[in-house]
A and B are shown apart, each in its own frame.
Chain A
């Protein structure tokens, strides 16, 4: 039913993911979602909120085993992840947070710290950072472990637009240089277009794949006109799926 993936890519097949709602009834979160990412491919999972995007990401991360299907991670599978919240250890400094996750000068920690402008904040505790800075530390942590698979869950949610744009540009540069197989969950079309090589669109709950299309690379060559076409097309898909 689903194609077999490359040895070093990511293969995800979720035939059914259900959960028990607070009301006691069983709800289906995902149905027949399957895709294969080539090594180094950057893919955005786009869909309305509540469509099971984050659930899918948690399944891929190995945080949720209660589903029907299979996940094959790139081997060897070093994993880096940016959660919706920074999830830093408040009692450890920024530098310790990065090191404890497995980052070191050998894995390129210093370059990433410099690229994200964190050099002056290494000795600070997370409680002393602004939300934007804490988000940067979380991004640095995910990249600095030199992952084979990178999972990003709405990395810019709840940031103001200007900050989100700046951080997105920095993230684009990091994605470009690191080229890990990457899965980005987002409900923002702009974000998906600017970061991904490929966009998979999920319908509203229960999530199914209703669109899967490549984005021209290099992304900077995307003309305003073609970007606009892509944008309207994706918007139409989301509107259909959500209805």
Chain B
């Protein structure tokens, strides 16, 4: 923890030094950025844009996780589905995010459905591929045990399937969250009139680096906070049965 703090302080120092070399137009000093953050926060615009972007992140993340998990399990358990969908998955995995986003805006229109759908479609193949591995690694002996003891479907899902998939879900969540929020900003830049991505687009047109950083940094902080205070505790909770390593 102490090292992290020290590391961040060094980064701030480099930033400050860089600012005095490059000049405030190219790289404004930390304090200047903080002032703009304060101003935007007081006007309410910062929270509004952060909130809108966060909602888009959550919506597309949930959509991609739900559909990707279902598809991944299906592909991991059923050879025919796997053979059918595997090439599609590879194409989708290698299709640039930008292509999906632009196509979605052209085909569906410049609206929220296209924005969230495009982001979800970018994340979906990654989730499906991860969960397919999880479904392939399922322990057949526990499945037999459940059949012998005639455990109901709901019990099998909750107590046998999900605990085995938990590490794969966690991996997909971690990589997914960071991927999704980065793509959401692009989607906002290209076709939305609010959100952090839109504000960064405006700052780009005005060549206003201070404003750009004033929107980017709080959002990075927000995503880090979600990772640290929500994702990690959940992960610790579901893996508490594992023997602690010394």
Contacts and interface: CB of A to CB of B under 8 A. Distances in A.
B108 interface: no
Nearest to A84: B141
Contact of A87 (B145, B159, B163, B238): B145
Given A89-B142, A96-B159, 18 more contacts: A61-B148, A62-B147, A62-B148, A63-B148, A79-B149, A80-B149, A83-B141, A85-B141, A87-B144, A89-B159, A89-B163, A91-B166, A100-B155, A100-B159, A102-B149, A127-B243, A141-B149, A145-B149
A233 B57 CA distance: 74
Nearest to A128: B243
What are the nearest 3 A-B pairs in CB distance? A91-B163, A91-B241, A101-B149
A125 interface: yes
Interface string A118-139: 0000000101100000000000
Contacts of B149: 79-81, 101-102, 141, 145
A92 B243 CA distance: 13
Q: Which of B142, B145, B163, B238 has most A Cβ within 10 Å?
A: B145
Interface string B144-157: 11011111000100
A90 interface: yes
A71 B62 CA distance: 47
Contacts, number: 52
Interface string B119-147: 00000000000000000000001101101
A166 B147 CA distance: 30
The size class of the interface chain A forms with chain B is 20 to 34
| Main secondary structure on A side of the interface with B | loop
B41 to A, nearest CB: 43
A102 B145 CA distance: 12
Q: Which of B147, B149, B159, B238 has most A Cβ within 10 Å?
A: B149
A170 B184 CA distance: 62
A90 B141 CA distance: 13
Nearest to B159: A100
B150 A79 contact: yes
B170 interface: no
B236 interface: no
